[in-house]
Amino acid sequence: MSASPAYSEEKGGSSSLGEPEYGHDPASGGIFSSDYKRHDDLKEMLDSNKDSLKLEAMKRIVAMIARGKNASDLFPAVVKNVACKNIEVKKLVYVYLVRYAEEQQDLALLSISTFQRGLKDPNQLIRASALRVLSSIRVPIIVPIMMLAIKEAASDMSPYVRKTAAHAIPKLYSLDSDQKDQLIEVIEKLLADKTTLVAGSVVMAFEEVCPERIDLIHKNYRKLCNLLIDVEEWGQVVIINMLTRYARTQFLSPNQNESLLEENPEKAFYGSDEEDSKDDKLDAASLVKRKPYVMDPDHRLLLRNTKPLLQSRNAAVVMAVAQLYFHLAPKAEVGVIAKALVRLLRSHSEVQWVVLQNVATMSIKRRGMFEPYLKSFYIRSTDPTQIKILKLEVLTNLANETNISTILREFQTYIRSMDKDFVAATIQAIGRCATNIGKVRDTCLNGLVQLLSNRDELVVAESVVVIKKLLQMQPSQHSEIIKHMAKLTDNIQVPMARASILWLIGEYCEHVPKIAPDVLRKMSKSFTGEEDIVKLQVINLAAKLYLTNSKQSKLLTQYVLNLAKYDQNYDIRDRARFIRQLIVPTEKSGALNKYAKKLFLAQKPAPILESSFKDRDHFQLGSLSHLLNAKAVGYQELPDWPDEAPDPSVRNVEVPEWTKCTSREKRKEKVEKPFYSDSEGESGPTESADSDPESVSETESESGSSSSSSESGSDSGSRGEESGDQSEEEEEKKKKKKKKGKEGPRKACPESAGSDPSEEEEEQEQGKKGKKKKPQDEGKGASESSWEEGSVSESSSSKSDSGSEAEESQSEPESRRRTTPPSSKPAPKASRKETKEISLLDLDDFTPAPPQPASSPAIVSTSLVTDLEGLTLTNASLAPTMLSPVFSTVKTYELLHRMAGEGLSVEYYFNRQPFPPDPHMVAVQIQFSNNTESEVKNLRVSEPKLVSGMRIQEFQEIESLAPGDTASVIMGIDFCDSTQAANFQLCTHSRQFYVSIQPPVGELMAPVFMSENEFKKEQGKLTGMSEITEKLTLPDKCQSDHTIVQRVTAAANVSRVPCGADNEYRFAAKTVTSGSLILITLERKEGARAHLTVNSEKMVIGTMLVQDISQALAQ
Amino acid sequence: MIHSLFLINSSGDIFLEKHWKSVVSRSVCDYFFEAQERATEAENVPPVIPTPHHYLLNVYRHKIFFVAVIQTEVPPLFVIEFLHRVVDTFQDYFGVCSEVVIKDNVVVVYEVLEEMLDNGFPLATESNILKELIKPPTILRTVVNTITGSTNVGDQLPTGQLSVVPWRRTGVKYTNNEAYFDVIEEIDAIIDKSGSTITAEIQGVIDACVKLTGMPDLTLSFMNPRLLDDVSFHPCVRFKRWESERILSFIPPDGNFRLLSYHVSAQNLVAIPVYVKHNISFRDSSSLGRFEITVGPKQTMGKTVEGVMVTSQMPKGVLNMSLTPSQGMHTFDPVTKLLSWDVGKINPQKLPNLKGTMSLQAGTSKPDENPTINLQFKIQQLAISGLKVNRLDMYGEKYKPFKGIKYMTKAGKFQVRT
């Protein structure tokens, strides 16, 4: 195109001005051009009054700049054209100006007035570009002008100009950091801007100018969260990263379970959410004793609003969300990011490289998250080496007992790759797997030994090194391998490998007492023909043998030393001399002689093989610092969670006045909506999709459907708004909602609880609430009311059960907040007391401890749970996790009788806690008591003999158990939903005992929360073959609600499902391994008769459960 | 954020530089050259190179290194993704992205870069908006410009920049209204020695070419949307409609764009449409090796497999190969040791076969690694996952558009281990 002539005169582009700034630039300063004249003709062209000539000249100049040639001597000629009418010339002049203004400050000032004029132009594009160029000119004199311009532009009508103003802020700041205070004011103003266009840019400015002023975010936090989905992608990245930091300072850690003093129904809530989340659902169970933790609704809001962005096409956005989840989300929810990250692995190799580094770090901490995607990390021969090595790292991190065989098989293929660096890395990876997973250590060793015969030196060297490391860990057990390697000396020619083998034999010569001297004999025979490193090791071996076995090797050693004495290499001669002095006792031999053995045969520490990605997560993931594992300039440390949550009310926005701007603006409001307003007001267009067809009571169904739509409604707001195809009716509805949304915040403010009764919608809403309240207060069964805090908690519980996503939980606390001001804690207590009173009036047999373990969505039971914990549980690590089941009788089983165990007795029971390392395992609490006179040491599990599929997570070895002491540990067993026993050996330092654990069917499940509707829906799906019914007669003492519930929950780990009818009891659970639902219904008929129905697709379990329960009830 | 950008060709010349803040001397690239030397191959240059005062982030595409210089902490993916976007934009503007083309259009490139970043922060990266700001060069426009003296720089703020649908410009007019969708699926698979599948997944995209007048609002529904395990959308797709109804509802950008990309996970069984029978053996004693490959169709749902191409990186010990194909052309490059065989169509009656001997370096023992075979193929009119578009509806405009859907299955990273 037109620019091409520029290349014919590249040489002409160089400068002769010899500016000091430019002198050091080798690229441009170096050439002194011979033909100056070229520039003269450029000047001429610029001075002409023909636009086309000017344009041509400017194009050539820009081409020079692009090549890195100096064109600064043209400055005066170019700057004149800044006011040119032709827009392209103007633009190119701008390009030139921005490039050279710094060097020609005085001349640059000539152009300023043009920009100042441009700032007043009616066309927003011209205003914006004037500001852009003005702020890009790095001339300190114009700082005040820039400041003024930015301030003015920050309140411009056009959001585009405001965006430009936001961009200008960091420019000015880098020019003159004294302006910080004033700039912060502008930032504060722009942060309040409600257009998506501005949001990203201003947060960028915030990050560059005042990242420490976290207080500026408070008021804008919710708005930013809600705008997020509509902000352009680059802005999203910046905002998400900033919000991650913000959340770390403002909220409590969702995993560490710091308490809010107030007990809260949400606890149960999150329990159910975690249940429903697909991956590693029970992972969250930290073993720390936890008090109920309540996630701040704002925290939830952030998590919820960022989640859809995992679907973004922009890898940076996906990564930003992933790191946000990794750093902020409850452990149980982090799993969602794995899929998105794996998707990024399809992208360009640079993206893969970055993502894999982050995955490597994550996979150390949360292995379970990536396990399902193991195969996505398999290596292809076409991958670049650096990608291969990272994938290998991830595979190694993911290796565990179950998948190790697949991984090793994969590694086997890699070893034959042509890429030798990669092969070496694979060998190291095998070494790491072998150290981490004891089970496969021998297999790995054998495999590596085979590799010793590889022709590639790198491979052999690497395998020898890894073998050496592995052997160093437990040399005694591997004398076989050492022997094998000794034999290899006959075949292996690679000097490095020979040397390594000799070192090994020397080091562990006491394990191979017969072979070592023989090897020395052979080596001394071939000594003269060996490579130098091998010779050195032969001498080394000889010395060690001389010290341990001088009888056999004395002569050999002397022979070798003599040979070495006359070797050509002086290193070897030196070594021989040195060793002779050291080990052969003579009259003159010095003091060192005594210590020769210590010198040579000192215990060498085993090398530790661990991932280089360990502990990298103290850097914010996805950051440059994390990637480099070093703090980059300007890196903002990710703060630790606070111990006490700062006041959440700082984020409350007084009365939001939504400026009417574009239709986009309305969407914002809608997004905002679910946050402020109660979910019951919502009925998105998708309502019908999720609502329950067979609603039992009106209220139930309403709350159920509204909860499901609260999410979809809110989100459809974000995108769905512009859809023109929606029916007008819906539009109207939405408008209504929007109105309500506006009201919402006011309601949310505790001070204005009783605001504006005149508003129609509000009345309606309250009416609805009233309706909701009534049937519950009246018509609830006796035991039920005990967990009813009030209508709100009930509606929330049913909501949570509708199980759509974790999202709802956000709206719940919101509703709580509405009824009870967030800051005042006594309020919920009061309401609880009230309900207790009601229940005491209504019920004869109300007992303070609701027996059903898990059906505790409401306050009372949670509080009791915590009370009970204090009583029953001895071990702190036993603290209940999210479900906190309570059961009145803990049935203990004997694992090893005192007599059989020679004084060691072992009992176990099912503590009904989720087993955090693996959600598919049943946790078994094992208690050892030592009744012998002596210490029992090294208690551990070994040699599990398991039915296929069954897995055991062993407990940590108990070092020692003093006489009379007891200890308790937890182990996890995946029974594969069968009642077959898990057999294994229990070993002590002296004995082994064969034991087996057979689970009662009731322990193979974990409670699930669901609403009545949901229960019925699920039950409807599980009829026919999967339904088992039995008639039974309830004995006299088993007539009260309490006893029945207690017995059922004692027999099986189930949770109670709320039920309208008072002669019916419902329970729900799902099996631990496969997660299939188990629904139990007990219907009392006249007299003492009752019908017990179990619905489950696992028929065997169903049948056994029926038996167990009817037995339990009949007792 | 992004301080400067250097474009470096494969011979190590810096042929373009652009600075968004103060000038960074191009000598900073020396660190890059050092790293490049160490990496031996272009693809192994680490994407992030720390230097004492700067960080160099680079992407390598079309034989050009795009090296961004940054000074402070910034998410590396942010920069890398942006650089890729730059390349995509160039490609969109000039058809190809090569050194020659960039040099020829250096002014347009410069103008585009100027618009894409402001002070190092992305400003306009949406190709639709950019094209309104700076019109892509066409021969016609160049001629017109030289005659009339008009420019290819727009003087209006692109409407998209401010509208609710930033990806679409207003006032689009076509005489023929048409919307084409290409469902393209790529099979990524690793097949082991014995022919069993180690891992296989399907990566699909729906590329669209929409030329519709006005502001059409499209909905696209699938017969079996549940197949789509993991999707990422063009920003125009209304995420919530998808979540709730599994319908793609969107106001399309004008022209070509990628509507969505999806993933059918390894959990689902993936039909593998071809198989490769191979017999590659090196004998220890002789300096000859046997080589035979047969490619045949498998689970193709009755469609023909075409565009088959077999490539394999042979071990270093292989000096030459003398092979006879039953069809197609084959080449072996004795320097890079790359064997490629352009098979063409697979005829199920007469399976294509490549057979012959390899001559190995005399004196060395047989190579202990076996080459992997990379396969490319195409199957028209088939989406291997079984994904089917149900219907496409248009709202918001009166006319009747012409609609077309095309399916295609391709091999992605399809490897057979031997």
pLDDT digits (tens, 9 = 90+) for B84-133: 999 988 888 888 888 888 888 888 888 888 888 888 888 888 777 788 77
A725–B219 C-beta distance less than 8 A: yes
* Best CA proximity match to A845, nearest among A1025, A1087, A662, A1042: A1042
Residue ranges of B 5-34 with Cβ closer than 8 A to chain A: 14-19, 21-23, 25-27
pLDDT at A1108 over 70: yes
Residues in chain A with CB shorter than 8 Å from the CB of B396 are: 724-725
**pLDDT tens string A724-744:** 444 444 444 444 444 444 444
pLDDT of residue B309: 92
Residues in chain A with CB shorter than 8 Å from the CB of B372 are: 380-381
pLDDT of residue B83: 93
Q: How far apart are CA A619 and CA A635, in angstroms?
A: 9
Residues in chain A with CB shorter than 8 Å from the CB of B121 are: 167, 201, 204, 234
User: Hey, what are A414's tokens?
Assistant: 């890699």
Name the more confident of A354 and A973: A354
Asked whether the beta carbons of A941 and A954 are under 8 A apart, the reply is yes
User: Hey, what are A94's tokens?
Assistant: 């701008």
Q: How many C-alpha atoms does A850 have within 13 Å on its Cβ side?
A: 28
Residues in chain A with CB shorter than 8 Å from the CB of B15 are: 67
Percent over 90 (pLDDT), chain A: 4
* Best CA proximity match to A798, nearest among A820, A776, A821: A776
pLDDT at B203 over 80: yes
DSSP states along A720-777: GGG-TTS-HHHHHHHHHHHHHHHHHHHHHSGGGTT--TT-HHHHHHHHHHHHHHHHHH
**pLDDT, mean of residues A178-195:** 88
Asked whether the beta carbons of A800 and A812 are under 8 A apart, the reply is yes
Residue ranges of B 350-409 with Cβ closer than 8 A to chain A: 365, 368-372, 374, 395-396
Q: How far apart are CA A892 and CA A924, in angstroms?
A: 11
Choice among A991-1000, B108-117, B390-399 with the minimum mean pLDDT: A991-1000
**pLDDT, mean of residues B230-259:** 85
User: Hey, what are A488's tokens?
Assistant: 């290899």
Top residue of B9, B27, B71, B81 to mutate, by most chain A CBs within 10 Å, is B81
For residue A1106, CA distances in Å to A889, A1084, B98, B239 come to: 20, 15, 73, 45
Asked whether the beta carbons of B304 and B346 are under 8 A apart, the reply is yes
pLDDT of residue B141: 61
Q: Which fold has domain B274-380?
A: Immunoglobulin-like (2.60.40)
Residues paired with A1033 in a beta bridge: A1089
Q: B214 at the A interface (CB within 8 A)?
A: no
The length of chain B in residues reads 418
pLDDT of residue B146: 60
Q: How far apart are CA B110 and CA B18, in angstroms?
A: 8
pLDDT of residue B57: 92
pLDDT of residue A436: 82
Would B2-148 and B274-380 be classified into the same CATH topology?
Answer: no
* Residue whose pair of structure tokens reads 């060498």 in the numeric block: A604
The length of chain A in residues reads 1115
For residue B156, CA distances in Å to A126, B129, B133, B152 come to: 9, 11, 7, 12
**Which run of H or of E encompasses A442?**
helix A441-451
B261–chain A nearest CA distance, Å: 8
pLDDT at A772 over 60: no
pLDDT at A435 over 60: yes
Q: B157 at the A interface (CB within 8 A)?
A: yes
Asked whether the beta carbons of B174 and B213 are under 8 A apart, the reply is yes
**Position A61, amino acid:** I
pTM for the complete prediction? 0.65
Asked whether the beta carbons of A231 and A243 are under 8 A apart, the reply is no
Q: How far apart are CA A100 and CA A355, in angstroms?
A: 39
**pLDDT tens string A481-510:** 777 777 777 777 777 778 888 888 888 887
pLDDT of residue A24: 41
pLDDT of residue B148: 59
Beta strand pairing status for B48-50 and A1077-1084?
Answer: unpaired
Smallest Cβ distance to B198: which of A2, A123, A378?
A378
B344–chain A nearest CA distance, Å: 22
Residues paired with A1007 in a beta bridge: A1069
Q: CA geometry: angle at A1031 spanning A1030 and A1035, to 5°?
A: 125
Asked whether the beta carbons of B47 and B58 are under 8 A apart, the reply is yes
Class of B178-270+382-416 in CATH:
mainly beta
Using DSSP, state whether A384 is helix, strand or coil: coil
Using DSSP, state whether A1057 is helix, strand or coil: strand
Q: B144 at the A interface (CB within 8 A)?
A: no
Name the more confident of A699 and A1074: A1074
Q: How far apart are CA A108 and CA A384, in angstroms?
A: 49
Q: B159 at the A interface (CB within 8 A)?
A: no
| Nearest residue of B to residue A386, measured between CA atoms | B44
Q: How far apart are CA A356 and CA A193, in angstroms?
A: 37
**pLDDT, mean of residues A208-215:** 87
Q: CA geometry: angle at A779 spanning A777 and A782, to 5°?
A: 85
Residues in chain A with CB shorter than 8 Å from the CB of B185 are: none
Compute the mean pLDDT over every residue in chain A, rounded to the nearest whole number: 71
Asked whether the beta carbons of A263 and A866 are under 8 A apart, the reply is yes
pLDDT of residue B140: 62
B240–A68 C-beta distance less than 8 A: no
User: Hey, what are B337's tokens?
Assistant: 């040791």
Buried b (16+ CB within 10 A) or exposed e, B218-239: bbbebeebebbbbbbbbbbbbb
Residues paired with B232 in a beta bridge: B261
pLDDT at A280 over 50: no
Q: Which of A364-373, A384-393, B115-124 is predicted most confidently? A: A384-393
**Which run of H or of E encompasses B56?**
strand B55-61
Q: How far apart are CA A54 and CA A73, in angstroms?
A: 17
Residues in chain B with CB shorter than 8 Å from the CB of A88 are: 151-153
Euclidean distance between the first and the last CA atom of chain B, given in angstroms as a whole number: 47
Q: B121 at the A interface (CB within 8 A)?
A: yes
Smallest Cβ distance to A632: which of B22, B73, B315?
B73
Q: How far apart are CA A1023 and CA B350, in angstroms?
A: 54
**pLDDT tens string A505-552:** 888 887 788 888 888 888 888 888 888 888 998 888 888 888 887 788
For residue A921, CA distances in Å to A366, A971, A1102 come to: 17, 9, 19
**pLDDT, mean of residues A944-954:** 76
Residues paired with B403 in a beta bridge: B179
Q: How far apart are CA A10 and CA B14, in angstroms?
A: 14
Smallest Cβ distance to B16: which of A66, A343, A635?
A66
Q: How far apart are CA A978 and CA A948, in angstroms?
A: 11
Smallest Cβ distance to B107: which of A59, A167, A625?
A59
pLDDT of residue A180: 87
Name the more confident of A1032 and A948: A1032
Reported in sequence order, the residue ranges of B316-384 that DSSP labels E, i.e. its strands, are: 318-325, 329-333, 338-344, 353-360, 373-380
| Nearest residue of B to residue A346, measured between CA atoms | B203
Q: Which residues contact A224 (CB under 8 A, 6 or more apart)?
A: A199, A203, A217, A239, A243
Q: How far apart are CA A992 and CA A940, in angstroms?
A: 10
Q: How far apart are CA A103 and CA B139, in angstroms?
A: 38
Using DSSP, state whether A404 is helix, strand or coil: helix
Reported in sequence order, the residue ranges of A178-255 that DSSP labels E, i.e. its strands, are: none
Top residue of B25, B78, B101 to mutate, by most chain A CBs within 10 Å, is B78
B395–A725 C-beta distance less than 8 A: yes
Using DSSP, state whether A1110 is helix, strand or coil: helix
For residue A705, CA distances in Å to A58, A699, A775 come to: 65, 10, 18
Q: CA geometry: angle at A614 spanning A613 and A615, to 5°?
A: 115
Question: Where in chain B are the domains?
Answer: 2-148, 178-270+382-416, 274-380
Q: CA geometry: angle at A938 spanning A937 and A944, to 5°?
A: 135
Asked whether the beta carbons of B184 and B387 are under 8 A apart, the reply is no
Buried b (16+ CB within 10 A) or exposed e, A379-393: bbbebbbbbbbbbbb
Residues in chain A with CB shorter than 8 Å from the CB of B395 are: 724-725
Question: What is the number of H-type helices and E-type strands within chain A?
Answer: 48, 15
Asked whether the beta carbons of A267 and A793 are under 8 A apart, the reply is no
Q: B155 at the A interface (CB within 8 A)?
A: yes
**pLDDT, mean of residues A235-262:** 77
pLDDT tier for residue A582 given thresholds of 50, 70 and 90: confident
Choice among A4-8, A363-367, B345-349 with the minimum mean pLDDT: A4-8
User: Hey, what are A252's tokens?
Assistant: 């409590």
**Position A485, amino acid:** M
B203–A346 C-beta distance less than 8 A: yes
pLDDT of residue B214: 85
**pLDDT, mean of residues B201-217:** 89
Domain B2-148 has CATH 3.40.50.10540: no
pLDDT of residue A743: 43
Residue ranges of B 172-211 with Cβ closer than 8 A to chain A: 188, 190, 192, 198-199, 201, 203
Top residue of B240, B339, B393 to mutate, by most chain A CBs within 10 Å, is B240
